């Protein structure tokens, strides 16, 4: 496990170039960092904050929104600001009014695709244009129907963690995305893998978790805990491997709400884990994009509270419209959608993310 921790402290922008080829000559800070076993900026471990990323894939629904807000529950970082999660959202069944609410609770909204269609293998062969429709489409839909700033939608994750290699990253580059979070540890493990370089796009490795001799990048893919205390210990043990060694950023990535819906004790165990983190004055639970901002401009623990400050957001309105579509108004069959703004004429979909007539 120590090997994994070593390779993931620095989140490299010099995408998919081998680490032997990544040097300070071709990877210039602060826009780029090579993988490295030490904290950024020459910080000592004692002066390094332990960053924690909590992320969920999928549509925001009433059920999972209630669980997310239960976990947030006015929880704060050591500087008094709200903790931040990251939500990788796809369009189908997404409640844009609840998405708006999460954004204005200072949570990060990121992209996961417009359609999220199965089978997963089909995503390996999509073109640049198709990926632009998927990533750019959900970005447009989130900005429009959740009424949030498009500039705040900075990250991407490939559906089923399946990219098309260079086509996916070319689309992300063209769309100005800041980061991708689709690769287990530091390598592309699901081919095809990108062969070119994409300066400006940061990769956030999904560091593997362990439980009962199972290894997983998505926390719900490991051997499932069967009690509240097993859930708590599973998360705590994996956190401790970071916290007591390199202090590399620690991530818990889950598929929407299924892990909690299957067993409420897992939700309670997750909450107990967050309660433990709240007792540590060097642990900051922040959105992935904010963590990358710190990686580009690392501040010591004494200054990190100011770095992760929480100036008030400029609130936008949300009208909470319920939209229904059938027949020619929906290319994918009968659908409902919750929106902050007036319902579009047709159901938004790839190629027409704003539902224009």
Only one residue has tokens 């009424």, namely: 147
Exposure of 168 in the CB half-sphere (CA atoms within 13 A): 30
pLDDT tens column, 143-185: 999 999 999 999 999 999 999 999 999 999 999 999 999 988 7
Q: Which residue has the higher pLDDT, 258 or 43?
A: 43
Alpha-carbon span 198 to 209, nearest angstrom = 28
Query: pLDDT averaged over the chain?
Result: 92
Q: Give the pLDDT band (50/70/90) at residue 35.
A: confident
CATH code at 50-308: 3.20.20.370
Residue 203: both structure tokens together: 């990769």
pLDDT value at 9 more than 70: no
Q: What percent of the chain has pLDDT over 70?
A: 94
**pTM attached to this predicted model:** 0.95
Domain boundaries, the chain: 50-308
pLDDT at residue number 36: 74
**Is the bond leading into 119 cis (omega within 30 degrees of zero)?**
yes
DSSP states along 5-31: HHHHSS--SSTT--TTT--TTTS-TTT
Task: Report angle CA 290, 293, 295 to the nearest 5 degrees.
Answer: 115
pLDDT tens column, 61-98: 999 999 999 999 999 999 999 999 999 999 999 999 99
């Amino acid at each position: 496990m120590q090997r994994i921790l070593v390779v993931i402290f620095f989140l490299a922008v010099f995408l998919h170039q081998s680490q032997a080829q990544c040097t300070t000559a071709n990877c210039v800070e602060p826009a780029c960092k090579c993988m490295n076993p030490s904290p950024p900026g020459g910080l000592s471990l004692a002066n390094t904050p332990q960053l924690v990323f909590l992320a969920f894939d999928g549509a925001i629904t009433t059920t999972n929104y209630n669980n997310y807000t239960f976990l947030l529950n006015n929880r704060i970082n050591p500087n008094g600001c709200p903790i931040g999660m990251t939500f990788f959202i796809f369009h189908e069944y997404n409640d844009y009014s609840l998405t708006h609410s999460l954004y204005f609770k200072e949570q990060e909204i990121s992209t996961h695709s417009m359609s999220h269609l199965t089978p997963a293998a089909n995503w390996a062969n999509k073109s640049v244009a198709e990926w632009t429709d998927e990533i750019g489409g959900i970005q447009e839909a989130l900005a429009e129907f959740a009424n949030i700033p498009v500039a705040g939608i900075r990250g991407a994750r490939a559906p089923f963690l399946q990219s098309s290699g260079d086509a996916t990253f070319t689309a992300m580059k063209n769309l100005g995305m800041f980061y991708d979070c689709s690769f287990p540890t530091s390598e592309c493990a699901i081919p095809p893998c990108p062969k070119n370089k994409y300066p400006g796009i940061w990769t956030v490795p999904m560091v593997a978790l362990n439980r009962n001799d199972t290894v997983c990048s998505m926390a719900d893919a490991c051997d499932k805990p069967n009690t509240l205390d097993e859930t708590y210990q599973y998360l705590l043990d994996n956190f401790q491997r970071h916290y007591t060694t390199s202090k590399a950023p620690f991530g818990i990535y889950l598929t929407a709400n299924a892990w909690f819906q299957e067993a409420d004790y897992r939700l309670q165990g997750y909450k107990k884990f967050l309660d433990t983190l709240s007792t540590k004055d060097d642990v900051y639970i922040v959105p992935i994009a904010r963590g990358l901002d710190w990686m580009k401009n690392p501040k010591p623990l004494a200054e990190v509270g100011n770095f992760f400050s929480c100036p008030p957001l400029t609130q936008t309105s949300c009208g909470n419209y319920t939209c229904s579509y059938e027949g020619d108004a929906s290319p994918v069959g009968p659908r409902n959608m919750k929106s902050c703004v007036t319902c579009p004429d047709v159901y938004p979909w790839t190629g027409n993310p704003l539902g224009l007539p």
